[in-house]
Amino acid sequence: MLANHFQNGIETARLVWSRIPNSEESQLLDDAVGILKNNDGGGVESLDYEVVENFAYREEQAQRGKLYVSYLLVVKWFFALLIGICTGLAAVFINIAVENFAGWKFSVTFDIIQKSYIAGFVVYVLINLVLVYSSVYIITQFAPAAAGSGIPEIKGYLNGVDIHGILLFRTLIGKIFGSIGSVGGGLALGKEGPLVHTGACIASLLGQGGSTKYHLNSRWFQVFKSDRDRRDLVTCGCAAGVAAAFRAPVGGVLFALEEVTSWWRSQLMWRVFFTSAVVAVVVRAAMGWCKSGKCGHFGSGGFIIWDISDGQEDYSFAELLPMAIIGVIGGLLGSSMPCIHFNISHFIWPAFFCSKDKEYNDLATIFFNTQDDAIRNLFSAKTINEYSSQSLLTFLVMFYALAVITFGTAVPAGQFVPGIMIGSTYGRLVGMFVVKYYRKLNIEEGTYALLGAASFLGGSMRMTVSLCVIMVEISNNLKFLPLIMLVLLISKAVGDAFNEGIYEEQAQLRGIPLLESRPKYEMRNMTAKEACGSGRVVCFPRVVKVSDVVSILRSNKHNGFPVIDHTRSGEPLVIGLVLRSHLLVILQSKVDFQHSPLPSDPRGGGRSIRHDSGEFAKPVSSKGICIDDIHLSSDDLEMYIDLAPFLNPSPYIVPEDMSLTKVYNLFRQLGLRHLFVVPRPSRVLGLITRKDLLIEEKENVNTLELQSTSVRIQHQYKRLTRNIDVERPLLIGLLQNQTPD
Amino acid sequence: MLANHFQNGIETARLVWSRIPNSEESQLLDDAVGILKNNDGGGVESLDYEVVENFAYREEQAQRGKLYVSYLLVVKWFFALLIGICTGLAAVFINIAVENFAGWKFSVTFDIIQKSYIAGFVVYVLINLVLVYSSVYIITQFAPAAAGSGIPEIKGYLNGVDIHGILLFRTLIGKIFGSIGSVGGGLALGKEGPLVHTGACIASLLGQGGSTKYHLNSRWFQVFKSDRDRRDLVTCGCAAGVAAAFRAPVGGVLFALEEVTSWWRSQLMWRVFFTSAVVAVVVRAAMGWCKSGKCGHFGSGGFIIWDISDGQEDYSFAELLPMAIIGVIGGLLGSSMPCIHFNISHFIWPAFFCSKDKEYNDLATIFFNTQDDAIRNLFSAKTINEYSSQSLLTFLVMFYALAVITFGTAVPAGQFVPGIMIGSTYGRLVGMFVVKYYRKLNIEEGTYALLGAASFLGGSMRMTVSLCVIMVEISNNLKFLPLIMLVLLISKAVGDAFNEGIYEEQAQLRGIPLLESRPKYEMRNMTAKEACGSGRVVCFPRVVKVSDVVSILRSNKHNGFPVIDHTRSGEPLVIGLVLRSHLLVILQSKVDFQHSPLPSDPRGGGRSIRHDSGEFAKPVSSKGICIDDIHLSSDDLEMYIDLAPFLNPSPYIVPEDMSLTKVYNLFRQLGLRHLFVVPRPSRVLGLITRKDLLIEEKENVNTLELQSTSVRIQHQYKRLTRNIDVERPLLIGLLQNQTPD
């Protein structure tokens, strides 16, 4: 029976992999992979975490004022609540479905096997094949972006890389049903990574007010227009996913903080924490409801809680050595998994079938259980000598091989549960040695299994604090905290000696260009000017002919263009940055076209009222408008656009000979998308120090909100002209001069 | 007896407070407070978390190369280990001392009380007075910066404010012995805040290679010269302090992350985690050693571990309401503590003595224990109806009043244990109500005490995730995690409605100008130019007369000055920023004085070899050199200095009309000290986007390290001249032109 199951695992894995070279679906799968691997900037787009302070934005801000900020805050908390509830429910749904499939599968097989062994085997394999095939079908046909664990993609998104399709509604659906199929079908993978992706999708969809394509959107929800706010929501979603997968709320917060996000603010921590707490409550309530038997085969085991709180009471210093060894093994095995996968996946198949005729009864208890139950058995205390070392070793080799093969496959696949399986197996092996060797101590093999699991995850994922908290939360035992810390330290250090963490490796394989938090060593010897190369910068004048805009947008793939104007005395002056996406919106709507090649009057009003900033917001995870989709008549092409209202008037700038290390820090820490390299300044108008930024809150801000629109515009205009006494003319000095009034 | 103890507490508090208006020491105390309250920029100095890339720095970098980076990494880990060991030992020492004082105090009192009640009372009060007085004496006479909890000051340091004296060796000693005196003397305060400060001091002292003043320094240790590296070490120290105080390693990491630091990198998390793990191991080892009775009265109770793992098994949804009420109470009481303290401290005394003639037996069990034991009693399960509600209420009122009075006193004082005392008292009160009302449920009052403690701390400190983890770690019970989260959410929300957290309030009272992570709302309507005011910027020319330097430094208190030079065509050009502290070093050493008013030849070498960057490193927490300490002859004053090698050649710049929100983000996120406001640029030389910053590691870097000094300088020179084809001359074009070669 074991052999059957094992065979079945191999078969399903083969099924998944054999598609790539020769079957009909291979093209589709290639497409799916192709999108992810596209590194040339076409498929991968950067996000703008800087707030684009163009006129529309400023007007909206002035109009809405401080009350709006409070409103936004309330909405953000409400969204955190919604994300928590939805992710919790999604997790419960996946778990109930998987448990029910598994339960139904086993009961059917058991019924048939009593009549005919062969028929039972065939039915069992068929059911698994159908489940896995359905998962593969969903992914390849319907939601290619839902393949894999999704964590590298989400990590990329939070790092500022928008990969097409990862946060769509169809991806969410594909992820949920795909992971039910693949986990229910018994593949060597878990549902935790997919849950993180699920949480992120839910958060993103809520943030953009539902799916536009499927008409499931509501204008009421469309509050968050900037990439920055959406990023915060997605961070909440990630934490919610982990919290739901492991029922580890603190672990979820830390996972989001340590592993997934690239930017973090302490206000965000507070909201992420709330989301996780909501998930914990939802999952708890759902499990309480299921206890009454309303959820079919779903029992308490659906969630990964391996309570070993009644385990080993104490540990001696003599045990630290074997524990350190576990750490080393974890680092080695964990870090080698991706390498082995890609080096030997071509010729592993022939060598693999030789082991299929071995059969062990205790091995069957590992293989034939669902993975969650198997782990609970491995962690269990008071069960010394339950497993023979040979069977554990065999299982380790087999499962490691299976995990290596399934790794990076085309179905939604989590690395957590396989990691825990492998780790706890060799941990228990070491534990058995320790029991034999240090005879007199009160040693539980289950403790070593737990440490082994921690070490393997540490060696593959390189998380520290979050993994530590997750392990404590799922094992429900605080006593081993220092031991888990020790093992994690060692396994991470060993793993770091070889390669980067599994998510970074996967991100690299999929062509997701992550910006690390630390600049590269070489950057010390480079300047900003060297980094941006010698290519000519494509600039726009302030008032530009529509035909010129079209030809410039067609001629290159740049996403941002400096806008240059001239002062009264004819000197050039950089007045801001205009984004390709905004230009495309302007070209499509045509309302801003004008006949005159002169700047429009900024005091005339009505200018930016034609747009609200929502129109400029790009839907998450979509390609947005393309220049070729816009149809302009020859009359349109002869008209002009005044770009001034659509500019980001003051993008961040760096002098040309600033070292690239500093440029990198600026770019990375502020989450920028474009940075202007400018000549060294000729004068310093002022120095800003800490004391200049310590401004007391003023009381009279709310009055601003009560002013009428015309007064507001006047006010804004006044604000801009306040600097008129500065010798060099500014943007508005310019405007004043050139407007024909 | 209760009244005595209580009276004693008031007496000691009076002792501390009565000093301020009339006793002889008041002047000293005022000095101590004065230093902290000095907000005019004299006492409070900013730190520079930006790496100052002057010539000396660059040469050192080039010289040491990549191997040096690896060496630094190893040293950083070694320091993390040292910090962990030292902080762990300091915590063990404080605990052993406090426990022994307390034990000895009680045994002496008990011996005498059997002969004479009056004599016993007198002796007990005297011992406490001596202990508290010694603490006050240490603080006022020896280490004024060791007053209070120290957390606001450390928070300020990590936010970039260097308060004189907070990280000195004498502060460390004062903190350790002061907190032994005040905690041993029975004041309503804890030793956790002081332990955080202790950890930070240890880290800082190790980082700068010991104390220069007490000749306890070693050159070998002087590796970390930048404020940035020292900041990282101090962060490790904070986490170590919390980890040692609560034996909560994960809580320590989170505390440092959430409450103390302003900047955080994920590499740092890993190192901070290691430090905490080391502390946990050291404390565990020391406690194991003490179990054999070698530490006198020190038992297992010295550390705050209130194990209630055998408490309430489950909870019902009906209990959520009383728990939410606990959260609200916590938010109200916690947030009102600082306000009440400063509003009523003048007239609270007369009203307070009326309660001294009340005496309760169960009240005595709370008062007469050490606080740790009292908390353990309050948290204890299976002890329903142990306390009467009247006695708990009386204790709550008294202890809250005491804590309000002792709050912000002149001895090292932690707010954790008093907070837990107050919170667990009202928590237990609510629990008693619940037990009475929901009769049928299996409810433990101890659970409510725990939740009460969490709520009060949440309401006063506003930490969420870290507090949650700390509470779980000290109570050793994971089951209540969702409940603690709920209570914390409510109490923090309630508290936030009234004021900021206790540490922020304290920081404000002490005049520590913290830069919050979020810009103020008003900044949206301000520009960079407006923020830096209309004052003239004091600039230096490239080659400056010594007498001019002296007179400029004397005429203002600025810490940084732009340096302006002229191009071949006579146009001015900003070539960098020079720091006051660097100018003072140059003036003091005199080796860079030259007779010629022309720039020295950068290719001559030897220029920056006269200094290494260590000379420019300011000792932590000291005032550094003052211009009045430097004596220059009239010949010296006639000489010149070429500032070029000492510049930070490319400080960050912002255009004058950038909105202050964006300027604030730049300044705060990068931890800057100076920022140049410059005119809008006239040209864009290039755009930097994500793809420009994705540079692959090159293999041929190590060759650089092997080159000789002359080649290196040549190389560096070449690097700088590479941009010569740029139309506008850069710094080096300038150098070339003006050097007489």
- A:324-363 residues touching chain B, CB 8 A cutoff: none
- Strand blocks (E) in B567-679: 572-579, 593-594, 640-642, 653-655, 675-678
- A:275-304 residues touching chain B, CB 8 A cutoff: 276-277, 280-281, 284
B140: in domain: yes
Do the chains contact at B679 and A679, CB–CB below 8 Å?
no
A405 shares its domain with A542: no
Give chain A positions within 8 Å (CB) of B515: 690, 693-694
Angstroms from A673 CA to nearest CA on chain B: 6
pLDDT digits (tens, 9 = 90+) for A406-440: 765 666 777 788 888 888 889 888 888 888 887 66
| Closest listed residue to residue B247, CA positions, set B305, B296, B288 | B305
Give chain A positions within 8 Å (CB) of B677: 684-688
B282 shares its domain with B179: yes
Structure confidence at residue A351 as a pLDDT band (50, 70, 90): low
B390 shares its domain with B417: yes
B372 shares its domain with B418: yes
Chain centroid to Cα B598, Å, comes to 46
pLDDT digits (tens, 9 = 90+) for B9-29: 434 433 333 333 333 333 333
Report the pLDDT averaged over residues A102-111.
Answer: 83
- Least confident piece of the model among A80-94, A644-658, B429-443, B535-549: B429-443
pLDDT digits (tens, 9 = 90+) for A549-601: 998 888 888 888 999 888 888 888 888 898 888 888 888 888 888 888 887 76
Give chain A positions within 8 Å (CB) of B250: 465, 468-469, 472, 481
- Least confident piece of the model among A67-76, A168-177, A292-301, A469-478: A292-301
CB contact, 8 Å: B728 with chain A? Answer: yes
CB contact, 8 Å: B323 with chain A? Answer: no
Is the CB of residue A646 less than 8 Å from the CB of residue A575? Answer: no
Distance (Å, whole) CA B653 – CA B643? 20
B288 shares its domain with B388: no
Tokens 């900021």 locate to B500
Is the CB of residue B13 less than 8 Å from the CB of residue B405? Answer: yes
CB contact, 8 Å: A670 with chain B? Answer: yes
Pick from B465, B580, B664, B722 the residue to mutate for testing the A interface (most A CBs within 10 Å): B465
- A:547-586 residues touching chain B, CB 8 A cutoff: 558-560, 562, 564, 571-575
Is the CB of residue A413 less than 8 Å from the CB of residue A421? Answer: no
Distance (Å, whole) CA B438 – CA B302? 36
- A:453-482 residues touching chain B, CB 8 A cutoff: 464-465, 468-469, 472-473, 476, 478, 481-482
B106: in domain: yes
Give chain B positions within 8 Å (CB) of A720: 657
Q: What is the DSSP string of B299-333?
A: -GGGS-----TTS-----GGGHHHHHHHHHHHHHH
Angstroms from B259 CA to nearest CA on chain A: 9
B81: in domain: yes
Alpha carbon distances (Å) from A267 to A232, B259, B361, B505, B518: 10, 11, 46, 18, 9
- B:28-87 residues touching chain A, CB 8 A cutoff: 41, 46, 50-51, 53, 58, 61, 66, 69
Angstroms from B69 CA to nearest CA on chain A: 9
Backbone angles phi, psi at B121, to 5 degrees: -60, -45
A311 shares its domain with A459: yes
Structure tokens at A511: 């062509």
Do the chains contact at A680 and B539, CB–CB below 8 Å?
no
- Least confident piece of the model among A262-266, A273-277, A621-625: A621-625
pLDDT attached to residue B673: 85
A507 shares its domain with A533: no
Weakly modelled stretches of chain B, pLDDT under 50: 1-43, 301-302, 304, 345-350, 352-368, 603-608, 698-741
- Kindly tell me if the per-residue pLDDT of A703 is higher than 60: no
A147 shares its domain with A97: yes
Angstroms from A131 CA to nearest CA on chain B: 36
Check which CATH number belongs to the domain holding B642 and give it. 3.10.580.10
Between A and B, how many CB-CB pairs are < 8 A?
380
Give chain B positions within 8 Å (CB) of A693: 515, 531, 660, 663-664, 667-668
pLDDT digits (tens, 9 = 90+) for A382-398: 555 566 777 788 888 88
CB contact, 8 Å: B618 with chain A? Answer: no
Distance (Å, whole) CA A563 – CA B680? 12
ipTM (interface predicted TM): 0.78
Cα of first residue to Cα of last residue in chain B, in angstroms, is 90
Pick from A272, A687, A721 the residue to mutate for testing the B interface (most B CBs within 10 Å): A687
B2: in domain: no
Three-class DSSP labels, B151-192: HHHHHHHHHCEEECCCCCHHHHHHHHHHHHHHHHCCCCCECH
pLDDT attached to residue A239: 93
Is the CB of residue B465 less than 8 Å from the CB of residue B435? Answer: no
Do the chains contact at A667 and B264, CB–CB below 8 Å?
no
Distance (Å, whole) CA B660 – CA B525? 8
pLDDT digits (tens, 9 = 90+) for B37-55: 222 333 456 776 666 666 6
Is the CB of residue B422 less than 8 Å from the CB of residue B340? Answer: no
Is the CB of residue B385 less than 8 Å from the CB of residue B391? Answer: no
Half-sphere exposure of A297 (CA within 13 A, CB side): 15
Parent domain of A458: 305-344+365-514
pLDDT digits (tens, 9 = 90+) for B692-714: 888 765 444 343 333 333 333 33
Among A693, A719, A735, give the residue marking a domain's end.
Answer: A693
pLDDT attached to residue B245: 85
Minimal Cβ distance to B464: which of A269, A489, A719: A269
A575 shares its domain with A593: yes
Q: What is the DSSP string of B484-529?
A: HHHHHHHHHHHHHHH---HHHHHHHHTT-----SS--GGGGG-BHH
A556 shares its domain with A491: no
Among B492, B514, B536, give the residue marking a domain's end.
Answer: B514
- B:522-551 residues touching chain A, CB 8 A cutoff: 522-533, 535, 537, 539
Structure confidence at residue A84 as a pLDDT band (50, 70, 90): very high
B570: in domain: yes
Distance (Å, whole) CA A147 – CA A32? 8
pLDDT attached to residue A58: 64
Angstroms from A714 CA to nearest CA on chain B: 14
Structure confidence at residue A122 as a pLDDT band (50, 70, 90): confident
Is the CB of residue B10 less than 8 Å from the CB of residue B130? Answer: no
Do the chains contact at A730 and B465, CB–CB below 8 Å?
no
- Least confident piece of the model among A181-195, A700-714, B36-50: A700-714
pLDDT attached to residue B269: 83
- Kindly tell me if the per-residue pLDDT of A360 is higher than 60: no
CB contact, 8 Å: B632 with chain A? Answer: no
- Kindly tell me if the per-residue pLDDT of A658 is higher than 80: yes
Give chain B positions within 8 Å (CB) of A229: none
- Kindly tell me if the per-residue pLDDT of A713 is higher than 50: no
Angstroms from B650 CA to nearest CA on chain A: 5
Residue, of A86 and B687, whose pLDDT is higher: A86
pLDDT attached to residue B609: 52
Chain centroid to Cα B546, Å, comes to 38
Among B465, B493, B514, give the residue marking a domain's end.
Answer: B514
Q: What 3-state DSSP class applies to B147?
A: coil
A32: in domain: no
pLDDT attached to residue A27: 32
Please tell me the pTM assigned to this model.
Answer: 0.79
Looking at the structure of chain A, the number of domains it has is 3
Report the pLDDT averaged over residues A31-50.
Answer: 44
Check which CATH number belongs to the domain holding A330 and give it. 1.10.3080.10
Is the CB of residue B180 less than 8 Å from the CB of residue B68? Answer: no
pLDDT attached to residue B199: 94
Do the chains contact at A677 and B692, CB–CB below 8 Å?
no
A224: in domain: yes
Minimal Cβ distance to B481: which of A250, A650, A731: A250
Residue, of B692 and A267, whose pLDDT is higher: B692
A31: in domain: no
Closest CA in chain B for residue A658: B650
Give chain B positions within 8 Å (CB) of A652: 654, 662, 666
A442 shares its domain with A452: yes
Tokens 């539902």 locate to A210
Q: Which residues pair with A162 in a beta bridge?
A: A45
pLDDT attached to residue A241: 92
CB-based burial of residue A711 (10 Å sphere; 0-12 exposed, 13-18 middle, 19+ buried)?
exposed
Angstroms from A458 CA to nearest CA on chain B: 12
Distance (Å, whole) CA A479 – CA B255? 20
B389 shares its domain with B400: yes
